[in-house]
Amino acid sequence: MKLKTMIAETLILTGVILFMSCGGGVDKNAKQVDLQELQKNQPETHGTELKESDIQITNPLNAEWVTFGKNIYELKCQSCHRLTEDKLVGPGWKNVTKRRKPLWIMNMATNVDMMLETDPEAQKLLELCMVRMPNQNLAKEDARKVLEFMRSNDGEK
């Protein structure tokens, strides 16, 4: 009986540690968002592979897209990615637009399954992070706005 209790306590403690390690602390000003409620009745979507011609990079940055992309980041991405070089669950985003082409970034955001099956760099990231990136059901237009936010985070004007 003691063994079962010890196992149960260990599992509970492990769950608490994992939960706490993902949060990085509590922000008292943070808005409470129920992700299950937001995604209720939304079927999982998988994008088609994007081509270079599907993406137009503009200068200067589109400020409205940067703001929209930041909101998407805060809702769907920041629990796994930091805006610094620091790896959390997934890799940090600092200088990602200098390391990766826009096409690669957007394909990873819109069709992670295809990227993990076919792209050697995505497969290396999976080995490094040891956690598969979940499908975030991002439309191409939303992924483009996240890319604009990433460009802003990397210092583009």
Asked whether the beta carbons of 129 and 89 are under 8 A apart, the reply is: yes
* pLDDT lower than 70: segments of the chain: 1-47
CATH superfamily of 83-157: Cytochrome c-like domain (1.10.760.10)
Sequence ranges of the domains in the chain:
83-157
- Alpha carbon distance 148, 140 (integer Å): 12
The predicted pLDDT at position 1 comes to 53
0.85 exceeded by the pTM? no
- What are the phi and psi torsion angles at 53 (to 5°)? -70, -15
Asked whether the beta carbons of 113 and 135 are under 8 A apart, the reply is: yes
Q: For 86-98, what is each residue's pLDDT tens digit?
A: 999 999 999 999 9
Query: What is the per-residue burial (b if ≥16 Cβ within 10 Å, else e) of 8-19?
Result: eeeeeeeeeeee
